[in-house]
Amino acid sequence: MKFPFKNIALIGKHKDPEIAGPLLRLAAFLSSRDLNVVVGDSLTTEQIESSPYPAMSLDEMAHAVDLAIVIGGDGTMLNIARTLSPHQVPLVGVNRGRLGFLTDLTLDNMQDSIAAMLDGKFVTEQRLLLSARVLRDDVEVFSGLAFNEVAVHRNHISSMVEFEVRIDGEYLYNQRADGLIVATPTGSTAYAMSAGGPILHPSLDVLELVPVCPHTLSNRPIVVKSSSVLEILMHRSGDISVRFDSHTSYGLELHDKIIVARHPEPACLLHPVGHSYYHTLREKLLWNRTL
């Protein structure tokens, strides 16, 4: 991470017509502090043409900026993190979504909070990423990164998924289920939580495997060390895919093998001083309400 920050990217939620206003106001504020500002190319052509700030793609930003500020929801942040984190670009999130586990600033407080961060008043948090490869006849046919989870599941109404799981080469189980989720601690409050997995503090150096509707009464989620290499071997083909954070997917065939491992570079999130993960859980999961 390069600090003090000099080159800053502002990225808004794709196809959200209300993003341009706050994004360009923040850009003007940053420019007033003699910082170099670029904006994401998800703005409309008209908005980009009327903006004094150059537009860049995510791939271009990865090599050009010291900090990325994301205005949107957790889904927007997931997409940005997969592209920028491998290049060690820290991320700040401003929430315009429904939950905001990853985007913890608000439009009302973003300018004051970001001003403090530019002065060095922030908390740094490292979040692990997943890397997954699909092998077909021992040849890699697809690969991708995930911030929340890598999930194998059926696409529509069809037969159950049948697969074998190995951890570091050791056989764990065969499973018949609607799918399997391999989640990071960040993803433990997403799809994995909906499937009955435990909530993991993001500082934990672990992964969790959560079966989706397993056809057995004995199967339970399991937590393993993050250095584990997980292998999922497909024993039934059909309308089945592997998905990365619900953003990217690839259709699977019989005997395909999915290898999931920790990516060497973590995602770096910046929070205001005083940020509390437990406060976020209370607010977002409504634990602060009396029944």
Active site residue 66: no
Tally of CB atoms within 10 A around 80: 25
126 strand-pairing partners: 268
Cα dist from 2 to 23, 61, 68, 105, 131, whole Å: 23, 14, 12, 22, 25
Q: From the candidates 34, 41, 59, 74, give the one annotated as an active-site residue.
A: 74
Cis check: omega of the bond before 211, within 30 degrees of 0: no
Q: State how far the Cα of 198 lies from the Cα of 189, in Å rounded to an integer.
A: 8
Cα dist from 93 to 27, 35, 247, whole Å: 15, 19, 19
DSSP readout, 168-234? Answer: TTEEEEEEEESEEEEE-TGGGGTHHHHTTPPP--TT--EEEEEEES-SSSS---EEEETT--EEEEE
Tally of CB atoms within 10 A around 107: 15
Tally of CB atoms within 10 A around 59: 11
The single residue listed with the structure tokens 């500082």 is 203
Catalytic residues, by residue number, are 74
